[in-house]
Amino acid sequence: MSTITAAGAQGTGLQQPPVALLNTANAITQKYILPVLGDEVLTPSPAFWAMTRNGKKFSGGELVYALLTQEEMTGGAYWGNQLLDTTVVDSIQPADQVWKFYRQSISIPITDVILNRGGAGALDLIRSKYQVGTGSFMQKLSRAVWHTSPQNTSLDVDDIDAWVGQTTNTIAGIDRSAAANSWWLPAANQTGGSAALNQATCELAYQAVVYGYDEPDLLIMDNTRFANFKNTLTTLIRFQDMEQDETALQAGFRYHFVYNNAIVMADRYCPASVAYLLNTKYIFPVFHELDYFNVEPFIKPTNQRTIVSTMYLTWNIINLSPRMSIKIINIS
């Protein structure tokens, strides 16, 4: 068996074999460099995609929306000249969220740009760093959707669990622990009894948040819970038919099984031992129309030969009706 003699074999160096004239070849030859960038670390979030699949929602100014908090009882049957109730009822309350600001910096030494001009320039340095920067930015947004460290500070967006899994927090300026604000609570957590999520548990959760034809459209959990849930449904025709989600063509998450018209997805950012049944008509990201992935041109600090560009995004996650979604807990 031949012994490999390496001379800078990693990168643009040559090695023996296959090169016989190793020193000569290293002086006059360069390896072919593929003009592609292979991703080894980034993880997509199907939940983030699913909440924006029906189009981006833009807003400007303050992030305030009106909520109907009670039925107005000034109506019903009457007879003849009966006095009619014309009481004024203040049945609308504002939800007031604050915008959250995110950034991603791209820094490149100018000396590296100068040196990236030979055959190695087949993979342009600036273009590659922008690709890495945009991918890294999406990684941060995907973690923020789930409040996953390090995107779990008070500066981060109001995440899925804050909206769907908690009942005593203050969100959008409304204290959920106050009895008078019970209308602002999500459906009570459904427990799975320390077993794999099954049809019986899932149906109880579904019935807690379905209102006529307005039903949840996304059931999401981590990969382990997804696999266990999938295994409990293999005998059902609905699963075996493997519904095609035609709205997912651009994201790559195309084929799924469907539970009561809710697309079932695995998201690696989702916390373990839980699942979320969401109605994405009501819970979705909203983006500020004046700061949507804005990119600043490269600038150079006065004391460094480095160029820096930054991408910015202003956004938050809103929920127009928390009662339409539910968290399923204690599943294996």
Is the confidence at residue 7, as pLDDT, over 70?
no
Assess whether 27 and 114 both reside in one domain.
no
Assess whether 5 and 125 both reside in one domain.
no
Instruction: Report yes or no on 61 lying in a domain.
Output: no
Which structural domain, as residue segments, surrounds residue 304? 96-331
What is the pLDDT at residue 331?
A: 96
Residue pair 255/281 in contact by the 8 Å Cβ criterion:
no
Alpha carbon distance 149, 89 (integer Å)? 44
Is the confidence at residue 21, as pLDDT, over 60?
yes
Assess whether 25 and 103 both reside in one domain.
no
Instruction: Report yes or no on 151 lying in a domain.
Output: yes
pLDDT in tens, 172-213: 999 999 999 999 999 999 999 899 999 999 999 999 999 999
What is the pLDDT at residue 32?
A: 74
Instruction: Report yes or no on 215 lying in a domain.
Output: yes
Alpha carbon distance 171, 7 (integer Å)? 60
pLDDT in tens, 119-163: 555 568 888 899 999 999 999 999 999 999 999 999 999 999 999
Assess whether 265 and 153 both reside in one domain.
yes
What is the pLDDT at residue 92?
A: 93
Query: What are the start-end ranges of the H helices in 42-124?
Result: 46-52, 110-115
Assess whether 26 and 173 both reside in one domain.
no
Assess whether 11 and 101 both reside in one domain.
no
Instruction: Report yes or no on 169 lying in a domain.
Output: yes
Where residue 290 sits, what CATH number does that domain have? Answer: 3.90.1690
Assess whether 112 and 24 both reside in one domain.
no
Assess whether 226 and 323 both reside in one domain.
yes
Confidence band (pLDDT; 50, 70, 90) for 6? low
Assess whether 148 and 12 both reside in one domain.
no
Higher pLDDT, 216 or 236: 216
How confident is the prediction for the chain on average, in pLDDT? Answer: 87
Which percentage of the chain shows pLDDT scores above 90? 67
Confidence band (pLDDT; 50, 70, 90) for 230? confident
pLDDT in tens, 235-288: 665 544 445 555 554 444 455 678 888 999 999 999 999 999 999 999 999 999
CA distances from 314 to 37, 55, 61, 171, 294 (A): 28, 17, 11, 18, 9
Assess whether 122 and 254 both reside in one domain.
yes
What is the pLDDT at residue 241?
A: 47
Closest by CA position to 126, among listed 137, 138, 115, 139: 115
Higher pLDDT, 84 or 254: 84
Assess whether 190 and 289 both reside in one domain.
yes
Cis peptide before 18 (omega within 30 of 0): yes
Instruction: Report yes or no on 154 lying in a domain.
Output: yes
Instruction: Report yes or no on 53 lying in a domain.
Output: no
Assess whether 137 and 228 both reside in one domain.
yes
pLDDT in tens, 46-59: 999 889 988 889 99
Instruction: Report yes or no on 251 lying in a domain.
Output: yes
DSSP-derived letter for residue 213 is T
Domain count, the chain: 2
Instruction: Report yes or no on 90 lying in a domain.
Output: no
CB atoms within 10 A of CB 247: 15
Dihedral (C-alpha) 288, 155, 149, 163: value to the nearest 10 degrees? -70
Q: What are the start-end ranges of the E strands in 143-261?
A: 170-171, 174-175, 190-195, 218-221, 258-259
